[in-house]
């Protein structure tokens, strides 16, 4: 009898190992996941967008509509499946979380969760009764991008794709680090990151929303401490006027149009000298909203406009190479011009 029981247990153990495996996620948690992962939900946009780089067909839902005020998602870059996915919500920004009922109805095999201190407890509390493996990914750590790409590649059984993305990330980070090492302290530029419809919301100097600016050694005029996952702290115009930044980076197309005709904003040197630039948003935001792998292109773009005497690469070639690798899309000059309108 004991022999029979041991035999059954052995068979179950072997069967389990055939269909699942134990991984160590980016929070050093030991997680059992299916060997063949076919249905994934990203807890927040950074992880949802990340999965799309490997295979959009794996996704079971989005956190918000792919086409919105900050992200101009389209079928050309993301495919029909991605653009037709249901919006299930998520744990990010001002959202309260995904609908657990909907999450269970789409039969997600794993939840790829954004490892973020502002969100961790919310996600764990919301999902503690849901028997779906939660895999943590450092999706907003720019310098860990190579590690992130390789980890997800291994997780999804696409190591070749993960390695290609990781190598791009390594080169992008190294190229910009090499450039910034040549910039003397007194040549480092200052900037204001204008958000909101009136341009009077911004993100703090230590925020994960402004990582890419810190990486290129640009000086944020708004020195404060991030209070929430959303960021976008309010700032008064007098503070901006007193700081008189060298550059202004704008998220809102509406505000970008207004800044050049506004009497008060025209008092700033950056406006007078036309050193105001609109963040590209196709198919995802190059800077933020949400913070994603697009920041690897964002650091090239910001460097090209803020440090033209130090940035020696051809930025148009860099953009085309990025879109080819990340979205398998060949940018022609006309499309490139439309994507980067007001960005240069």
Q: Same structural domain for residues 196 and 320?
A: yes
pTM over 0.85: yes
Q: Same structural domain for residues 198 and 331?
A: yes
Average pLDDT over residues 287-313: 97
Q: Same structural domain for residues 118 and 208?
A: no
- Of 81, 113, 140, which marks where a domain is finished? 140
Token pair in block for residue 35: 């060997």
Q: Same structural domain for residues 222 and 322?
A: yes
Q: Does residue 323 fall inside a structural domain?
A: yes
CA–CA separation, 70 and 72 (whole Å): 7
Q: Same structural domain for residues 94 and 199?
A: no
Which three-class secondary structure string do you get for 255-281? HHHHHCCCCCHHHCHHHHCCCEEECCC
Q: Same structural domain for residues 187 and 318?
A: yes
pLDDT digits (tens, 9 = 90+) for 10-28: 444 444 446 899 999 999 9
pLDDT at 9 over 80: no
CATH number of the domain residue 258 falls in: 3.40.50.1980
pLDDT digits (tens, 9 = 90+) for 114-153: 988 777 777 777 887 788 999 999 998 999 999 999 999 9
Q: What residue numbers bound the domain in which 198 lies?
A: 183-339
Q: How many domains does the chain have?
A: 2
Q: Quote the mean pLDDT of the chain.
A: 93
Q: Does residue 3 fall inside a structural domain?
A: no
Q: Does residue 159 fall inside a structural domain?
A: no
C-alpha angle 250-301-338 in degrees, rounded to nearest 5? 70
Instruction: Give the residue carrying structure tokens 């007193």.
Output: 242
pLDDT at 91 over 70: yes
């Amino acid at each position: 009898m004991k022999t029979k029981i041991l035999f059954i247990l052995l068979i179950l153990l072997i069967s389990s190992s055939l269909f699942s495996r134990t991984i160590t996620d980016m929070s050093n948690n030991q997680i059992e996941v299916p060997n063949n992962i076919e249905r994934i939900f990203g807890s927040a946009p950074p992880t949802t967008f990340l999965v799309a780089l490997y295979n959009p067909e794996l996704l079971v839902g989005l956190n918000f509509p792919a086409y919105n005020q900050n992200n101009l998602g389209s079928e050309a870059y993301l495919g029909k499946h991605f653009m037709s996915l249901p919006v299930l919500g998520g744990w990010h920004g001002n959202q309260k979380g995904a609908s657990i009922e909907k999450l269970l109805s789409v039969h997600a095999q794993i939840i790829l969760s954004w490892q973020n201190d502002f969100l961790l407890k919310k996600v764990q509390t919301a999902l503690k009764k849901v028997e779906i493996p939660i895999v943590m990914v450092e999706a907003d750590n720019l310098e860990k991008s190579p590690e992130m790409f390789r980890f997800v590649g291994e997780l999804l059984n696409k190591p070749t794709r993960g390695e290609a993305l990781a190598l791009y990330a390594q080169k992008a980070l190294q190229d910009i680090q090499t450039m910034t090492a040549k910039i003397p302290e007194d040549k480092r530029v200052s900037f204001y990151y204008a958000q909101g419809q009136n341009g009077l919301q911004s993100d703090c100097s230590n925020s994960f929303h402004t990582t890419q600016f810190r990486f290129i050694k640009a000086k944020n005029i708004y020195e404060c401490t991030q209070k929430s996952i959303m960021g976008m702290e309010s700032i008064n115009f007098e503070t901006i006027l007193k700081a008189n930044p060298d550059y202004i980076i704008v998220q809102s197309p509406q505000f970008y149009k207004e800044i050049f005709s506004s009497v008060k904003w025209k008092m700033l040197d950056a406006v007078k000298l036309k050193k105001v630039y609109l963040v590209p948003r196709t198919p995802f935001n190059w800077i933020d909203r949400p913070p994603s792998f697009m920041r690897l292109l964002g650091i090239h773009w910001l460097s090209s406009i803020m440090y033209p005497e130090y940035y020696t690469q051809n930025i148009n070639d860099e953009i085309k190479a990025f879109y080819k690798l990340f979205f398998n899309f060949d940018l022609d000059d006309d499309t490139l011009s439309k994507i980067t309108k007001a960005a240069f």
